[in-house]
Amino acid sequence: MITDVRNAFLDRLAAADPGLVRLRLAASAVLGIVLAVLALQPLHFPLTTTLVAAIAAMMSAFTVNDATSGGQAVTLLLALVVGTASITAACFGSAYAPLDSVVFVLLIFVAVYVQRFGPRGTALGSMAFFLFFFPMFLQAHLAQVPHLLIALAIGVAANAVVRFLLLRRNAESELIRYRQAFRARLGAAVRASEAYISSGGSDRSNRQIRTAVERLHEVVLLIEDHAPDVVDDRRADQLRRRVIEVELAVQWLVITVRRTCSRPLPEGVADDLVARLARFRSLMERDPRDLPLISQTGEYSRMLVEGSRIDERAHPGDGVRRAIAELAVADDRAQRIANRQAGAELPAEEDEEDEPTKAFAYDNQTRGAIQAVLGGGLAVLAGQLISPQRWYWAVLTVFVVFIGTSSAGARFVKGMRRTGGTLLGIVGGVALALLVSGNTPAILALLLVCVFGMVYTARVSQFLMAFFVTSMLGLLYSLLGTFSIEVLWIRVAETAVGAACGLLAAVVVLPVRTRAVMLDDIAVALDELHEFVESAAKLLSGRENVNIIEMSRDLDRAVEQVRLTIEPLTHPINLRSARRDYGWHVLTTLEGIAFRARHVAARAQPGQLAGPVSERLDQFAGRIIANVDLVHEAVSNPGTRTRKLVRDDGTPVADRIDEAETRAVLSSLSHLDEGLIALGRVLGVGAQDPPRHS
């Protein structure tokens, strides 16, 4: 019983935090704070100075996310320089008010603008902002600058020790943990399918299935990204291919389950299907390194036999039985390739040079920075009205709302989540502060717990992050001897005012609408789709041996960006049901296209359609590419009339082709074509039948 509970907990943890990356980051933040505080003890610095070291260690762990260790080291050194400038400016500004508020607001512009330079820009912008903010919060002054800079250096050094020595990233172990997360999320998808059948297709189980499939796809992308860090290109490509096949099999199982449950099932069929899914789930190895494989069990053989009993007199539920068998086969193949090296050498690919980021440009990021600085100015004025001493909380909220968002809708959703988390954090902060009032060791321990929770939840929930931040503030006030419920309520009021000022600036000043950003992101996805279809045709005809799995990954990421952008439309907080339906329609159609592209990428082989059918393939692919370009034109120039898309003429490319794999590839291309026509319809682009030649 204890073992089952422990295994269930570990599975949940692996599924919730693939690779345990968030756990490592949160542990790094806590351990860095402990090291920084211990290092400062012999210097007998005051508490406020020690807190700056802790903040520097925490922010370094939280924000520095370069892809390589060398890149992280460079960013930490730059953070030291940036932090020195921010702390000095904050202390100087506090002596010459209102210089501090002017510099603080201008710093928002810089911090939001430098997001264009990727992870390093985002990290340095955030470090500059928060290391200006916290000296204001701690009411530091010019005389403390030397001690504060020593504390900054110790805090950054503590994080470097943790990052590069104590909790150093191990790529091989991380890939194993990603595979463990994949196993756990695969089990969750099967479990959601069981619930869907048991409930007869309830709305709740439908949401569970969608969430499970989305979470499985997240891990697939992580495995694809990190496999080359551990294995050679040949094996990495094989692993990607097999993992995609498992994901496709899961998605096909989900589709089949939904179709099967769309009509009433005879008595006993639903129970039988649920039992079969549960049996399959019980055969899955928890640890991807464990043997024997699923195929070495008698149950596996029975599963394949039962799944193949489908003929003209098929019985209800046979489609699900076959989908379970196909998933078992795909899972077995993925496990085998993950545990041994096999396959043909892939051609070397030419390195592509990334287009350099422009240092100065007027685009949506620049507009967002302008909005942020104006919102920050409004927050200073409004925050001063609420509390002349703590107005900076309103400015902080403006900054947080603008970081990582690209439209007014996204900023509204983020502001609401932050305000809600702050309200709940008031309860937690008051309760914790009253519980441990006067007990310094207990306060310090709970502060570390709040830091851990803040870093651990930052990437997945703004609500929970705001809760931990506000609870931490209650404890900090208690530690500094300035705790009162009134102060925490001022924090809530400042947060709400800051969110309102940020939203006002986003809506009124150079507004960036969610729909406009969504169309830009769809255009990027269509660019990736154009390249994918073009390259797939070359691969299938044998003209070029290109790696279209990489291209399908690029398409996946473009669609994922659309998902993030479109969230304000699909979020329940959007009261306009027509807009929610529109957002879901666009998203599901794009996801369907990406699904079919992954299917093609996983099964396409060089020269698979060479010979007599290659000319027909070129015509088919050429029409799809032309349709992609027409939809691209429509989203790039909304409001202008475009030509209609051209449907397939019904002439099959697969004439006289008997190979099941080849026919499956062509079927997926046809479904991709249908998805593109559906996407055009959603975006206002009509379709027509091809002209008939007499």
Q: Answer whether residue 458 shows pLDDT above 60.
A: yes
Mean pLDDT value of segment 211-219: 88
User: Contact 37/151 with Cβ under 8 angstroms?
Assistant: no
Mean pLDDT value of segment 511-537: 90
Burial 149-167 (b: 16+ CB within 10 A, else e): bbbbbbbbbbbbbbbeeeb
In which band, very low, low, confident or very high, does the pLDDT at 79 lie, cut at 50, 70 and 90?
very high
Of 199, 164, 167, 173, nearest to 71 by C-alpha is 164
Beta bridge partners of 646: 688
User: What's CA 311's distance to the chain center, in Å?
Assistant: 42
Q: Answer whether residue 630 shows pLDDT above 90.
A: yes
pLDDT at 309: 54
User: Contact 77/333 with Cβ under 8 angstroms?
Assistant: no
User: Contact 285/182 with Cβ under 8 angstroms?
Assistant: no
pLDDT at 477: 80
pLDDT at 291: 47
pLDDT at 345: 39
The token duo for 458 is: 């930052």
pLDDT at 299: 64
In which band, very low, low, confident or very high, does the pLDDT at 154 lie, cut at 50, 70 and 90?
very high
The DSSP call for residue 342 is: -
Highest mean pLDDT (candidates 82-86, 370-374, 594-598) = 82-86
Q: How many CA atoms lie within 13 A of 442 on its CB side?
A: 9
Number of residues in the chain: 694
Return the percentage of the chain with pLDDT > 70, whole number: 88
Q: Answer whether residue 546 shows pLDDT above 70.
A: yes
pLDDT at 64: 93
pLDDT at 344: 36
Taking every pair of C-alpha atoms in the chain, what is the biggest distance, in angstroms?
A: 94
In which band, very low, low, confident or very high, does the pLDDT at 220 lie, cut at 50, 70 and 90?
confident
Q: How far apart are CA 4 and CA 10, in angstroms?
A: 10
What is the DSSP annotation of 288-324?
Answer: TT-SS-GGGSHHHHHHHHHHH--STTPPTTHHHHHHH
User: Contact 108/399 with Cβ under 8 angstroms?
Assistant: yes
Residue 124 falls in which region: left (phi positive, over 0), alpha (psi -120 to 50) or beta = alpha
Least confident piece of the model among 137-146, 223-232, 288-297 = 288-297
User: Contact 515/606 with Cβ under 8 angstroms?
Assistant: no
Please tell me whether residue 263 adopts helix, strand or coil conformation: coil
pLDDT at 628: 94
Of 506, 464, 469, nearest to 491 by C-alpha is 469
To the question of pTM greater than 0.75 for the whole model, the response is yes
Q: How far apart are CA 142 and CA 219, in angstroms?
A: 49
Burial 187-216 (b: 16+ CB within 10 A, else e): bbbbbbbbbbbbeeeeeebbebbeebbebb
Q: How far apart are CA 677 and CA 596, in angstroms?
A: 14
Q: How far apart are CA 104 and CA 90, in angstroms?
A: 8
Amino acid at the residue 387? S
Least confident piece of the model among 14-18, 299-303, 406-410, 464-468 = 299-303
Q: Answer whether residue 163 shows pLDDT above 90.
A: yes
Q: How far apart are CA 565 and CA 533, in angstroms?
A: 25
Q: Answer whether residue 293 shows pLDDT above 60.
A: no
Cβ-count burial of 248 within 10 angstroms (0-12 exposed, 13-18 middle, 19+ buried)?
A: buried
Return the percentage of the chain with pLDDT > 90, whole number: 26
Q: How far apart are CA 375 and CA 399, in angstroms?
A: 9
Q: Answer whether residue 247 shows pLDDT above 50.
A: yes
Please tell me whether residue 687 adopts helix, strand or coil conformation: strand
For the CA atoms of 191, 197, 202, 207, what is the dihedral angle to 10 degrees? 30
Mean pLDDT value of segment 2-23: 75
Residue 146, preceding peptide bond in cis (omega within 30° of 0) = no
Mean pLDDT value of segment 220-231: 82
Neighbour count for residue 38 (Cβ, 10 Å) = 11
Return phi, psi of residue 332, to 5°.
Answer: -60, -45
What is the DSSP annotation of 512-559?
Answer: --HHHHHHHHHHHHHHHHHHHHHHHHHHHHTS----HHHHHHHHHHHH
Q: How far apart are CA 118 and CA 98, in angstroms?
A: 32
Q: Which helix (H) or strand (E) holds 89?
A: helix 69-95
pLDDT at 429: 74
Give 530's contacts (C-beta < 8 A, 6+ positions apart). Answer: 625, 628, 629, 632
The token duo for 229 is: 């860090």
User: Contact 238/154 with Cβ under 8 angstroms?
Assistant: no
Q: How many CA atoms lie within 13 A of 155 on its CB side?
A: 29
pLDDT tens for 27-53 read 999 999 999 999 999 988 888 899 999
Return phi, psi of residue 359, to 5°.
Answer: -70, -35
Q: How far apart are CA 67 and CA 72, in angstroms?
A: 8
pLDDT tens for 194-210 read 999 999 888 899 989 99
In which band, very low, low, confident or very high, does the pLDDT at 313 lie, cut at 50, 70 and 90?
low
Neighbour count for residue 542 (Cβ, 10 Å) = 15
pLDDT at 160: 96
- Between residues 207 and 5, the one the model is more confident about: 207
What is the DSSP annotation of 379-409?
Answer: HHHHHHHH-SSSTHHHHHHHHHHHTT--SHH
Dihedral over Cα of 565, 570, 573, 575: its sign: positive
Give 382's contacts (C-beta < 8 A, 6+ positions apart). Answer: 394, 497, 498, 500, 501
Q: How far apart are CA 515 and CA 319, in angstroms?
A: 39
Q: How far apart are CA 551 and CA 528, in angstroms?
A: 7
pLDDT at 5: 66
Q: Answer whether residue 308 shows pLDDT above 60.
A: no
Cβ-count burial of 506 within 10 angstroms (0-12 exposed, 13-18 middle, 19+ buried)?
A: buried
pLDDT tens for 322-366 read 888 888 878 777 777 666 543 333 333 444 445 566 666 666 778
Of 247, 216, 173, nearest to 23 by C-alpha is 173
How confident is the prediction for the chain on average, in pLDDT?
83
User: Contact 466/416 with Cβ under 8 angstroms?
Assistant: no
User: Contact 495/397 with Cβ under 8 angstroms?
Assistant: yes
- CA distances in angstroms from 528 to 209, 236, 548, listed in the order given: 27, 22, 11
